Amino acid sequence: MAQTVFAPWTEADQKPLIEFRNVTKRFGEFTAIDDLSLKIYEKEFFALLGPSGCGKTTMMRMLAGFETVTEGNILLAEQDINDVPPNKRPVNMMFQSYALFPHLSIWENIAFGLRREGRDKAFIDTRVEEMLRLTRLTRFAKRKPHQISGGQRQRVALARSLAKAPKLLLLDEPLGALDRKLREETQFELMDIQEKTGTTFVIVTHDQEEAMTVASRIAVMDEGRLVQVDTPGQIYEAPNSVYVADFIGDVNLFPGKARARPEDTQIAAAAPDQPVSDQPVPDQAAADQTATAPMAEPAPSPTATPPEGPTVARLPAPDAKGDWLYDKIFRRFLGDRTTAPRRLPPPNAEELAAPKPEPAATAQPAEPAIKPGGIFIDWAEGQPPIIAAGGDPAMDGREVTYSIRPEKVTIDTVRPDRPNVYEGKVIDIAYLGNISTYHVELAGGRMVKAQMVNARRLANRPITWEDTVWVGFTETAGVVLEE
Amino acid sequence: MRRAILIAIPYLWLTALFLVPFLIVLKISLSDIALARPPYTPQFDFSAGLEGLGAFFSELDFENFVFLTTDDLYWKSYLSSVQIAGLSTLITLAVGYPVAYAMARADEAWRPTLLMLVILPFWTSFLIRVYSWMGILASEGPLNAVLLALGIIDQPLQIMNTNVAVYIGIVYTYLPFMILPIYSALEKLDGSLLEAAEDLGCSRLSAFWLVTWPLSRPGIIAGCFLVFIPALGEFVIPSLLGGSDTLMIGKVLWEEFFNNRDWPVASAVAVILLAILIIPIVLFQRNEQKAREAEG
């Protein structure tokens, strides 16, 4: 995977392209950036992520030169650029409002920076053509900005800021003005262009999905400080604080008290054959995710119910005569018959009336033995403690928060055999089409979110409102956080 | 139907208040002077019927327009008016643009106050303000007193009753008409455009010439016309502040009308003035149209 190959931040001898050295920025009494140090490497797609007012835009404007640094230094390719004015920095910016010059055509907009450099006409012509081609705007070169759509304007802004081939491109909420569908397309386009040009991109965004999609590394900011700087995977699976866990994606948080767990538990002893994984927590958690995925919605296993159900029997398939007919006549003009999957017909009345397939215990794959060690978390009176194998036993006796993503929590109508299982009642179901999020209220009132992939169609789903269900998760699925 | 009525109202308004008076003036310009009341002939006689109408039209001629070409007072006045109006427009622009720029760049909380200060002079009568300039510019007025006291001059300057006084009067009077359209163009200007220009390699000054100036051009053009058009026919300022050698067509028109009581010649002067003004007015309209298109 390219992601694992490209990781200059792990190599000690790599020289950063950008370095913030103890940078502080104050606006009067207000401290926007507080003693912040950060290194950004060449060819990175670096995202500054945070809620509005966290200082991410100030960081970007300091890089562009529109804001001065109150204390500390910003280095670009090991040169202090504190006193370099914006028009002398090898840095270009794509503005949130795009800031296209309304009195100039698309072509002139893109050529603007090159003309200021005093380049000769032939060079400008080729470069602008190249940029127009890169952003698929050649047809619109003669138009004015108000004559093209929002998505096209966004691409003009990108082409204009890339035209001078800057060492560093700053993108200020570049996709904020686009609708969802176009935004997703443009994210991939941005990554593609970033790869093609090899430019270092720094993107400012408050949209965590956008940051996760495009960035090689994300810096999560809060109140002028960096909370965590890491790859999207690490940020999501191994957040270093409740703030990050809560800010990125959806999460269940269980505040509680840690209690050291014996290294050699009875359960672990019961299945000594099971190899104990010593992988770090996030990878284990990721593995768990894939392991639990098929369980997300228990399918009737072949041993429990023979495949007489609607799926296979109702698939239209030719018999011997049909095959013969096809071979003799239709093959000539239609070619070989493909056995492509066909669309499922809607369930008929009979199928709807049929008893729902029981998500029986047979659906459960053999549960591996619970990994020993880690901690228990006592999070509520009268509830069994959460087993967190990834917890540090040294946390014993301290206040901690157990954080687990909804997609790692399973939901069943019968008690599953999992390390952490709690009974509750379905209060709400958020149906998003591809997935559903179930809000389950546990005894004692705590709400837990569990997510399931909707692998099957609506009529066959066994869980509805007010049902008594069991939520469960493995001992390694969550992260123990200390605040 | 409702639409037609809605459109008809402004058209009726324009017909009644512009087209009809203009046709009357045009008719008078084609008439002859007469010692009568009103002081021109022919008069339209409703009782004479169709025949009278024929006789009425046969008496109209272009005699007065021909007369305007025989005396060089008239074309010199027109030319001098265009010159004075043109130069004062440029001076107004030079004074007004920085004011408008500073207002647009001022803190948002201050802008309404600054805007009000620009409009404030309209709260007093135009005539009173011109009269007060007579006092200020007089040989023994406060301006000369201050300059003498500072030792900049040792003789009082003769500003009153010269073209300089006329320029001062016109620039002062029409300055708000220059500031307001430029201000509204500059206020709309997105600050990030200037940052983008700087980001792409412009210095502050070149960013001004390449971005701010072209984007404020609709405001500049509107302001120039709003000053030039009324200044061209200006009558009060040259007659109060100007001297005997200040030639402006508005003053000539007044003298023909009231001193000579030659309504036909005065009307001819007015018709030609209108013809001269139509050119900038049409250009002004086209500019406005373009600005609207650029926005939409």
Per-residue pLDDT of chain B in tens (296 residues, 90 and over written 9): 788 889 999 999 989 998 999 999 999 999 888 888 788 888 777 777 777 778 788 888 888 899 888 988 899 999 999 999 999 999 999 999 999 999 999 999 999 999 999 999 989 999 999 999 999 999 889 999 999 999 888 888 899 999 999 999 999 999 999 999 999 999 999 989 999 999 999 999 999 999 999 999 989 999 999 999 999 989 899 999 988 888 899 989 988 888 888 999 999 999 999 988 888 888 888 888 887 777 65
Q: How far is A147 from chain B (nearest CA, A)?
A: 9
CB contact under 8 A, B196 and A101: yes
CB contact under 8 A, B196 and A103: no
CB contact under 8 A, A92 and B193: no
What does pTM read for this prediction?
0.73
Per-residue pLDDT of chain A in tens (483 residues, 90 and over written 9): 444 568 888 887 888 999 999 999 999 999 999 999 999 999 999 999 999 889 999 999 999 999 999 999 999 998 999 999 999 999 999 999 999 999 999 999 999 999 999 899 999 999 999 999 988 899 999 999 999 998 899 999 999 999 999 999 999 998 887 888 888 888 898 898 898 888 999 999 988 888 999 999 999 999 999 999 999 999 999 999 999 999 988 899 999 989 888 876 454 444 444 444 444 444 444 444 444 444 444 444 444 444 444 444 455 566 777 778 778 777 777 777 665 545 556 667 776 666 655 554 444 444 457 777 788 888 888 888 898 888 888 888 889 999 999 999 999 888 888 889 999 999 999 888 888 899 999 988 889 999 988 887 766 667 888 889 999 999 888 899 987
Q: Which residues of B touch A160 (CB under 8 A)?
A: 200
Q: What is the DSSP letter of A344?
A: P
CB contact under 8 A, A112 and B197: yes
Given the cut 0.90, state whether the ipTM is greater than it: no
Structural domain total, chain B: 1
Shortest CA distance from B201: residue in chain A: A87
H-only helix segments in A89-144: 106-116, 121-134
CB contact under 8 A, B203 and A93: no
Q: Residue A108: is it exposed, middle or buried by C-beta count within 10 angstroms (0-12/13-18/19+)?
A: middle
Domain-located, residue B147: yes
d(CA B257, CA B38): 12
Considering only CB atoms, B199 lies closest to which of A92, A97, A101, namely: A92
Reply yes or no on domain A2-247 having CATH 3.40.50.300.
yes
d(CA A5, CA A127): 31
Considering only CB atoms, A103 lies closest to which of B196, B215, B296, namely: B215
Q: How many CA atoms lie within 13 A of A262 on its CB side?
A: 6
Q: What are the structural domain ranges in chain A?
A: 2-247, 253-263+281-298+369-481
Considering only CB atoms, B192 lies closest to which of A85, A99, A164, namely: A99
Domain-located, residue B24: no
Domain-located, residue B208: yes
* The domains spanning A2-247 and A253-263+281-298+369-481 adopt the same CATH topology: no
Length of chain B: 296
Contact A232, A248 (CB under 8 A): no
What residue has token string 């007004």?
A: B96
Q: Which residues of A touch B196 (CB under 8 A)?
A: 93, 95, 99, 101
Contact B216, B186 (CB under 8 A): yes
Domain-located, residue B264: yes
Q: Which domain holds residue B181?
A: 67-295
Q: Which residues of B touch A174 (CB under 8 A)?
A: none
Helix B63-70 crosses helix B72-105 at what angle (to 10 degrees)?
80
CB contact under 8 A, B196 and A95: yes
Q: What is the CATH number of domain A253-263+281-298+369-481?
A: 2.40.50.140
Closest CA to A170 of A37, A32, A26, A48: A48
Identify the CATH number of the domain in which residue B115 sits: 1.10.3720.10
Q: What is the pLDDT of residue A60?
A: 93
Find the radius of gyration of the CA atoms of chain A.
Answer: 28
Q: Which residues contact A154 (CB under 8 A, 6 or more apart)?
A: A98, A174, A175, A177, A178, A186
CB contact under 8 A, A95 and B200: no
Contact B173, B237 (CB under 8 A): yes
